[in-house]
């Protein structure tokens, strides 16, 4: 069944790139935050609230991580974003930078949390994400992550084209500079609901 008992589409949470190289102050990637950006802790707190609230509400969570071989042989360097990733030596599989940021990784004790590894901007390309969501019966997705204008927007666009209803938890997203974050949210308003973590969870009957 694809609907919850209340008649609403069944919801899953997609948490994108909450990894050390992306979120930590010592991380190698500056797509989500400028160095020393004071927004970092606010976004980390919002991401933690989203995961905690989803767990309290019993929502499945798919943690989507990006990681490449140490030699980057599996990285297609067809765009500046990916070439920059390799040049920075970022998100190498097995490295500290590719690991989930403290407190924002999966809870291995929960049966409805999943980890998806991808190599492109959309969380759907070359991954079992659609198969997992189909198994869960999910038709509504709460999407959040870093960076807003890259993996979040690309995954949202892909999800909408596949027929999912999407809500973006904007305060658990970021891009540097902030103007890119704002512009991306404006773009996505044509495709998805733009919300806060608190609002998105409240609509599911869960806590903020």
Supply the CATH number for residue 109's domain: 3.40.50.850
- Window from 15-24, 34-43, 83-92 with minimum mean pLDDT: 34-43
Question: Is residue 4 assigned to a domain?
Answer: no
pLDDT digits (tens, 9 = 90+) for 134-159: 999 999 999 999 999 999 999 999 99
Question: Is residue 189 assigned to a domain?
Answer: yes
Count of domains for the chain:
1
pLDDT, residue 7, reads 57
CB 118 within 8 A of CB 125: yes
Question: Is residue 2 assigned to a domain?
Answer: no
Interval 103-130 mean pLDDT: 96
Question: Is residue 3 assigned to a domain?
Answer: no
pLDDT digits (tens, 9 = 90+) for 187-197: 999 999 999 99
Is 50 exceeded by the pLDDT of residue 1?
no
Domain ranges, residue 185: 11-203
pLDDT digits (tens, 9 = 90+) for 33-58: 777 778 899 999 999 999 999 999 99
Question: Is residue 179 assigned to a domain?
Answer: yes
Is 90 exceeded by the pLDDT of residue 170?
yes
pLDDT digits (tens, 9 = 90+) for 100-113: 999 999 999 999 99
CB 125 within 8 A of CB 132: no
Question: Is residue 6 assigned to a domain?
Answer: no
Question: Is residue 126 assigned to a domain?
Answer: yes
Q: What's the token pair of residue 149? A: 């204008």
Question: Is residue 208 assigned to a domain?
Answer: no
The upper half-sphere exposure of residue 159, i.e. CA atoms within 13 Å in the direction of its Cβ, equals 32
Cα 84 to Cα 63: distance, rounded to the nearest angstrom: 23
């Amino acid at each position: 069944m694809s609907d919850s008992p209340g008649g609403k589409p069944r919801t899953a949470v997609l948490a994108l790139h909450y990894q050390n190289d992306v979120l930590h102050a010592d991380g190698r990637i500056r797509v989500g935050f400028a160095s020393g950006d004071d927004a970092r802790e606010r976004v980390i707190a919002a991401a933690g609230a989203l995961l905690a609230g989803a767990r309290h509400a019993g929502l499945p969570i798919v943690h989507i991580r990006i990681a490449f071989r140490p030699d980057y042989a599996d990285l297609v360097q067809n765009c500046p974003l990916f070439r920059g990733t390799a040049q920075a030596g970022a998100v190498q599989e097995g490295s500290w930078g590719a690991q989930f940021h403290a407190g924002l990784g999966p809870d291995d004790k929960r049966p409805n949390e999943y980890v998806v590894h991808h190599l492109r901007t959309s969380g759907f390309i070359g991954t079992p994400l659609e198969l997992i969501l189909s198994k869960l019966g999910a038709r509504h997705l709460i999407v959040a992550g870093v960076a807003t204008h890259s993996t979040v927007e690309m995954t949202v666009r892909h999800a909408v084209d596949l027929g999912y209803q999407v809500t973006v938890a904007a305060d658990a997203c970021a891009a540097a500079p902030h103007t890119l974050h704002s512009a991306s949210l404006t773009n996505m308003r044509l495709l998805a609901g733009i919300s806060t973590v608190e609002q998105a969870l409240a609509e599911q009957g869960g806590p903020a």
